[in-house]
Structure 1
C-alpha cells in the first residue's frame, strides 16, 4: 500500500488523473451488496405484492442506469464507454436479497466504481420501493469482489462475509 495518491496536483489539490497515455485493455469489475429486511417484506417482494411494482426489475434497471451515470456523481471518475452491465440477484433467503453487479468496458481505465455504484443503486432502489412497509432494512456491506484488466492487474477478494 505504498502507492502514491494520484488524484492530487503539485499544490495538493484534487485533480482528475490523466489517462491519455494508458493502454486500452478489456476490463471487468464485479461488486456485491445486500439488503436485509423483514421476512414479511421479502415475502411480498417474491409474491409481487409491493405497491410500487416489481422491486427487482426496477432495481435492476436502476443499477444499469447508475453504472452508466457514475462519472456524473463521483467527482474524479472518468466518463467511460461501458460495454456491458449485468445485475444478478439471489433472493432465496427469507430476509435478504444478495446483489451482484458486473460491469465491462474496453478502455484506458477500470470499471470498479461503476460496479460499486450499480450495486449501491440496486440496494437503494430496493430500499426505496419497500420503505413504506419496512424502514428498518439494512443495506450492506457493499464491496468489490473482482476486477480484471489494466496496469494494476487483477484483483480478487479472498473472502468476505455475505
Structure 2
C-alpha cells in the first residue's frame, strides 16, 4: 500500500501545482484586464476633455462666422453675400439671426466710419422704380386702365 500512497501523493502534488499555476495565470490576466480597463477609462476622460475643448473652439469660430456673415449681409444684399462667401443663402440668414446685434452694429460702424447703413427689403420708398413681378401685373399704374385678361380656349379631350 505504500507505493499507492506515494503515487497518489505525487499526483495530488502535481494537481496542486497545476492549480496554483492556473491561479497565478488567472491573477496575472485579471491584473492585465484591470490595467487595460483603467487605461481605457483614462483615454475616455482625455477624449471628453479634448472634445469639450474642440467644441468650444468650434462654437467660438461659428460665432465669429455668424457675425462676419451678418456684417457682410448688412452692407450688401444677403444673396450677394451668399455668393461672395460661397455659402448658401440659408446659412447667411442663419448667421444674421444668430449674430448679436450689438456686435454686428459695432463692426458695421467701425467699417463704415460711423455711418449707419439702413437696409430695407425691396425697393426704397418713393424711388420711382418700376414694380416687377406678379404684384405689378395685378395692380395697374395710376391713370391707366387695366387691360382685359386674355382667355385661352382649351380643347376638350374626349
**Do the two structures share a fold, i.e. TM-score over 0.5?**
no
Q: TM-score, normalised by structure 2?
A: 0.19
* Greater fraction of residues in strand: 1
Q: Which structure dedicates a bigger proportion of its chain to helix?
A: 2
Larger Rg: 2
